[in-house]
Chains A and B, each alone.
Chain A
Amino acid sequence: MEFKDYYETLGVARDATPDEIKRSYRRLARKFHPDLSADADADDRFKEVQEAYEVLKDPEKRAAYDRFGADWQAGQEFRPPPDWQPDVGFSGGGYTEAGEFSDFFEALFGGAGRRRSGAGRRRSGGGYTHLRMKGEDIHARIAISVEDSFRGATRSLSLQVPQVDGEGRLVTRRRSLNVSIPRGVSEGQQIRLRGQGGPGLGGAPDGDLYLEVVFAPHPLFHAAGRDIHLDLPVAPWEAALGATVTAPTLGGDVELKIPAGAGSGSRLRLKGRGLPGTPAGDQYVEIEIQTLKADTDAARVLYERMRREMAFDPRAGLGKD
């Protein structure tokens, strides 16, 4: 396994005071909190920061960790020394609310880090039979397309789910399941699958699985809640004179009347053409006027004629009070 430099993770010196460690942890926890950060790797970074803080905030664990000295580099191949005894002295202490720690952490401080977020820890060989506790809720994200939300769909996903094995121990297994995507789901909403989380103990109910929906980027459509936005390119004469053009919607192409005099940025609303629901969302079409290059003689003649004959100053509104 790889050595982890907890000081580097928290961005503090090896002789940092407990206050410095705490301040740095709080700052990084805010920065990488999965509910606050839009970074794709925020989840992993947050876990690393939590693990580092778990060790460095505790004088005993920190002292034990410091025995490895400053010679170790992050990422270096690491084996705990043969006389190292995990689970002794550390397993009794309370762990903060972290979910899962790294193999490196477990090799040093015992498997208790891989525990449930409630209470109760595995007794060696004992199992959980003395406990009654609802199973762990599992949170995951599922990426779908706007079309999936528009039509409804079935998506398969694969998750690490805790299970109780034959000897009553809690183990993690990879599990594939198919999930129905309800019509009209919008980004950020959760789908709750009751009883699909971790196993309940002592006859208590199983936990639930929560799937947070995110939309994969779409080449044409962009969702905001149940509303769908589309940029529609139009020719200058279509915008100036008005035109009926074909525009895509999630339900198929429609003919759309562009009113005469529409400008770039004008928005048209197609009521009820967004994602289904009560009420259904709308589709907004934003007009984007595209100019034509004067790269033929004919085009150049037309542009020259417009320049001569049309009194148009697009900058009339600039620099005047």
Chain B
Amino acid sequence: MAERDLRALSGTLLDERTVFGLRELCAACGVHAEIVIEMVEEGVLEPRGAEPAEWLFPGSAVTRAQKALKLARDLRVNWPGAALALDLLEEIEWLRSHRRRAAGPTARARSPEGAPVSARLIRTPA
């Protein structure tokens, strides 16, 4: 039996504008503080602030910590291994998104609106 909820639910976007303290991060990941402290010591997470009590994590750290926990659980990698895998994954994502698109439909312009915008030439092929 399907249940419908017609309200539009608003969530929190876990990006750098959302900040988590140690306790909130632990709650979001369902782990004890010792685990998060280990992850910070081993380079999985890089909070701002010197002491655990002052640590501030960006929202993206929740995603990263959850992935590290899954990798450690499913593949038995240790924290440095999880950190390495996550860094490489980020690099792969970056390369993937900057790879030139395959030839697709070309851009079609409609009627011009407004004044010409200024653009800066940032790369000219040699």
A interface residues with partner B (beta carbon < 8 Å): 26, 29-30, 33, 35-36, 46, 50, 97, 118, 134, 137, 139, 154, 158, 173-180, 182, 184-194, 196, 208-212, 219-220, 222-225, 229-233, 244-248, 252-257, 259, 261-271, 273, 277-278, 285-286, 288, 290
Q: What residues of B have a CB within 8 angstroms of the CB of A271 in the complex? A: 120
A257–chain B nearest beta-carbon distance, Å? 6
CB pair A269–B107 under 8 Å, yes or no, is no
Q: From known contacts A188-B93, A189-B14, infer whether A257 and B104 are also in contact, taking CB-CB under 8 Å.
A: no
State A178–B9 Cα separation when bound (angstroms): 6
B56 CB to nearest A CB, Å:
17
> A190 to B14, Cβ gap below 8 A?
yes
| Selected interface stretch from B32-40, B41-49, B111-119 | B111-119
Contact of A254 among B2, B100, B117, B124 (CB under 8 A): B117
- Of A50, A139, A190, A244, chain B has the most CB atoms within 10 Å of the CB of A190
Tell me the complex Cα distance, A298–B97, Å: 42
B contact residues around A50 at 8 Å (CB) = 74
Whether the Cβ atoms of B121 and A266 lie closer than 8 Å is: yes
Residue of B nearest to A249 (CB): B117
Instruction: Establish whether residues B119 and A253, one from each chain, have CB atoms under 8 Å apart when the complex forms.
Output: no
Inter-chain contacts of A178 with B (CB < 8 A): 5-9
Residues of chain A lying within 8 A (CB to CB) of residue B67: 35
A179 with B11: in contact, given A190-B63, A222-B101 (CB under 8 Å)? yes
- Count how many chain B residues have C-beta atoms less than 8 Å from C-beta atoms of the other chain: 60
Contact A245 B62 (CB under 8 A): no
Point out the residue from A118, A247, A267 that lies within 8 Å of B109, measured CB to CB.
A247
Closest-CB distance, A293 to chain B (whole angstroms): 15
Question: Do A190 and B106 touch across chains, with their CB atoms under 8 A apart?
Answer: no
Q: Does B15 contact A (CB under 8 A)?
A: yes
Closest to A263 in B: B125
Query: Chain B, 79-123, contact with A by CB distance < 8 Å: what is the 0/1 string?
Result: 000000100010001100110110011111111111111111111
> Do residues B123 and A246 form an inter-chain contact, with CB atoms below 8 A?
no
Instruction: Tell me how far the C-beta of B69 lies from the nearest C-beta in chain A, rounded to whole angstroms.
Output: 10
Determine whether the beta carbon of B120 is less than 8 Å from that of A269. Answer: yes
A176-B5, A178-B6 known; A278 vs B17 contact (CB < 8 Å): yes
Report if B53 contacts A (CB, 8 A): no
For the complex formed, measure the closest distance between the CB of A162 and the CB atoms of chain B, giving whole angstroms: 12
Residues of A close to B50: CB separation below 8 A = none
B27 nearest CB across to chain A (Å): 8
Beta-carbon contact of A191 and B14 below 8 Å: yes
Can you list 18 pairs linking A and B with CB atoms under 8 Å apart?
Answer: A118-B30, A173-B2, A186-B15, A189-B15, A191-B14, A194-B11, A230-B107, A231-B107, A233-B106, A253-B113, A255-B116, A257-B119, A264-B125, A267-B122, A269-B119, A278-B17, A286-B100, A288-B106
Q: With a CB–CB cut-off of 8 A, which chain B residues contact A223?
A: 97
B71 contacts the other chain (CB 8 A)? yes
Contact B11 A193 (CB under 8 A): yes
- In the assembly, what is the distance between CA of A268 and CA of B122, in Å? 6
Min Cβ gap A316→B in Å is 12
Least CB separation from A224: chain B residue: B97
The answer to whether A190 touches B62 (Cβ under 8 A) is yes
Of B2, B73, B97, the residue contacting A176 (CB under 8 A) is: B2
Cβ-based interface call for B78 (8 A): no
If A36-B89, A266-B123 touch, does A187 touch B12 (CB 8 Å cutoff)?
Answer: no
Q: Please determine whether B124 and A192 come into contact, CB atoms closer than 8 angstroms.
A: no
B51 part of interface (Cβ distance < 8 Å):
no
